[in-house]
Amino acid sequence: MNYRIETMINRERVEERIRELAKEIERDYKDRKEEVIFLGLLKGSVMFLSDLIKETNLDLKIDFMSVSSYGSGTTTSGVVKILKDTDFDMKGKNLLIVEDIIDTGLTLKYVKEFLYAKGAAEIKICTLLDKPERRKVELKGDYVGFTIPDAFVVGYGLDYDQKYRNLPYVGTVVFEEN
What domains lie within the chain, and their CATH numbers? 11-151 (3.40.50.2020)
Q: What are phi and psi of 7, to 5 degrees?
A: -70, 130
Q: Which of 128, 115, 176 is nearest to 8 (CA)?
A: 128
- The mean per-residue pLDDT over the stretch 65-92 comes to 78
pLDDT at 133: 95
In the set 103, 142, 150, 159, the catalytic residue is 103
pLDDT at 79: 77
pLDDT at 70: 57
- The mean per-residue pLDDT over the stretch 12-27 comes to 98
> Percent of the chain having pLDDT more than 70?
94
**DSSP state, 45?**
T
Residue type, 27: R
- Residue 71, pLDDT > 70, answer no
- CA torsion through residues 21, 9, 137, 78, sign: negative
pLDDT tens, position by position, 143-178 = 999 999 999 999 999 999 889 999 999 999 999 886
pLDDT at 123: 98
Q: What are phi and psi of 142, to 5 degrees?
A: -80, -30
- Residue 73, pLDDT > 70, answer no
- Residue 21, pLDDT > 80, answer yes
pLDDT at 78: 64
Q: Which of 35, 39, 47, 34 is nearest to 114 (CA)?
A: 39
103 catalytically annotated:
yes
pLDDT at 110: 94
Give the model's confidence band at 130: pLDDT under 50 very low, under 70 low, under 90 confident, else very high.
very high
155: left (phi > 0), else alpha (psi -120 to 50), else beta? Answer: left
pLDDT at 145: 98
Q: Which of 148, 154, 158 is nearest to 175 (CA)?
A: 154
pLDDT at 1: 78
Question: Average per-residue pLDDT in the chain?
Answer: 93
Helix H segments across the chain?
A: 11-29, 46-55, 106-117
Question: In angstroms, rounded to a whole number, what is the distance separating the alpha carbons of residues 20 and 29?
Answer: 15
- Residue 72, pLDDT > 80, answer no
